[in-house]
A and B are shown apart, each in its own frame.
Chain A
């Protein structure tokens, strides 16, 4: 399976990544090689097999509904310089 530059740009956009034009050839050939390796999965007869998403098929555990975390807002806010009045700053999204 070969991915076209258009497909690669589309995937990159879905992942919010940018592939520069000069990097396209390398990305394209490496993805083709990786997909070539992945295509070996076709050898396996998986008809009627249930997908397995997790090694131990765990049931989600519930806990008592009680507060266990203390308020760490200030400590978390220390991790960025893009902030004002206790809010995170991003480029304007609403006109």
Chain B
């Protein structure tokens, strides 16, 4: 049942074929069965079963919400009342939030049942989920490989069939990249669509929540549940139109799909290049027109992002000082050594590196050369997208330059790891919506994702293209252990 579409599960719940309580128990059992994947930081059995009971009561009372009683799980970056919110870090390893994030409030209000909190790179800084204080998450497709990151637990949990949909966050690709590496559909909407209230901050002008599912349809249904204006987030978009489902089936005849010439260069794995080009041809056969577009500064997205995001992080993470909540060092002599020891013991290596880089970029004498320079570059990158969207409606490209790396292959070489984000970070610099959808498999049977990029507030357009592609192909239907010989 857990591997069915949301619409099918909703029908089964409504017809009484299964109750939400039974569905929740199934998901909890499946999570336990897949404990070796380490997809969860905490499971919340008692609360989940209580919520499922309430969902069952709502269903019996005639609730027609398609998400009522559906099981999910939230990334451990979302504050959740009463259960651990660690953000994958030792420094928050004892933090029980006194309130719920808006994302959690919104899904709970729809009677969705959350079975727990998913594993992630510490403070969402990473592309492998190996920097978690709680140990790495494994890729269900091949447990010798990483699931991507930072929302690796959220992706692995859906990929392994534990839950049908999950939430994640995407600051530089942390929803799209794990979606690509785990054969899922993952979408990050326009910056400001989803409230950041209660989402532990990494880089505030980039952070945006998103969702994972097995199809564009499921992702669209789930995304609708978390979007919307929230007065508690100062950058929340007012007066949003939230309808991602009704346009899924639209004909894409005449739609102009832009292929950025910079995306198909030597840095891209040749198998991925061929796969994405084949997908573009498929979309052409469905009536779309392919056009080449130019994103001249796209290569500079990585250096630009790795100045600005660490700069914002170094500021955001200054709040972790051991005074009011979280871990506090045992040994210290005075207030300053308490701060220093708490932070040095509480943060992992990658987080410390980024705080150092960010502090450097913001420090006196280097501020103009790094921080201001990167902000100017950010504008050029945004302008590139504006120009490209004059020639096309949607941009198509790869999500990642390679398929899932082996465990331990990139996390000890920060620059190598950062370069894996080349196709994803520019969207966060610009605040644009983007999604990754399954497009095929490499020679080792590992999933390949392709990225669809829309202009501001055009989530429904990329979801429409993704849905039409998924109606014509079956890449998204393959599950770990069953590629049907597709590889």
Chain A residues within CB distance 8 Å of chain B? 3, 8, 11-12, 14-18, 27, 30-31, 33-41, 43-44, 46, 49-56, 58, 60-61, 63, 68, 72, 75-76, 78-80, 82, 88, 90-93
Contact = CB atoms under 8 A, between A and B. Distances in A.
9 contacts: A15-B343, A17-B355, A41-B377, A55-B432, A56-B235, A56-B431, A58-B235, A88-B323, A90-B335
A54 B41 CA distance: 32
Contact of A55 (B314, B338, B373, B431): B431
Interface stretch (B125-133, B134-142, B296-304): B296-304
Given A18-B341, A61-B234, A63-B231, A55 B356 contact: no
A60 B238 CA distance: 12
Interface in B315-370: 318, 321, 323-326, 328, 332-336, 338-341, 343-344, 347, 352-353, 355-357, 359-361, 363, 370
Contacts of A36: 415
A91 B338 contact: yes
A51 B376 contact: yes
B253 interface: no
Contact of A46 (B95, B299, B343, B373): B373
How big is the B interface, by class? 35 or more
B397 interface: no
A80 B326 CA distance: 7
Contacts of B306: 34, 37-38
Main SS at interface, chain B: helix
Given A18-B344, A38-B303, A93 B359 contact: no
B307 A76 contact: no
A29 to B, nearest CB: 10
A52 B380 CA distance: 9
B300 A11 contact: no
Given A8-B356, A37-B302, A63-B231, A46 B377 contact: yes
A63 B325 CA distance: 29
A17 B376 contact: no
B376 A16 contact: no
A39 to B, nearest CB: 7
Contacts of A60: 234
A81 to B, nearest CB: 9
A40 B363 contact: no
B324 A79 contact: yes
B430 A55 contact: yes
B379 A49 contact: yes
A35 B374 CA distance: 13
B303 A40 contact: yes
A11 B363 contact: yes
Contacts of B40: none
Contacts of A16: 318, 321, 336, 339-340, 343
Instruction: Output the residue of A17, A31, A37, A92 with the most chain B CB within 10 A.
Output: A17
Instruction: Output the residue of A56, A60, A63 with the most chain B CB within 10 A.
Output: A56
B378 interface: yes
Nearest to B304: A41
Interface string B413-456: 01100110000000011111000000000000000000000001
Contacts of B205: 53-55
Contacts of A72: 98-99
B191 interface: yes
B434 to A, nearest CB: 13
Contacts of A31: 353, 356-357, 360
Contact of B300 (A41, A75, A79, A90): A41
Contacts of B324: 76, 79-80, 88
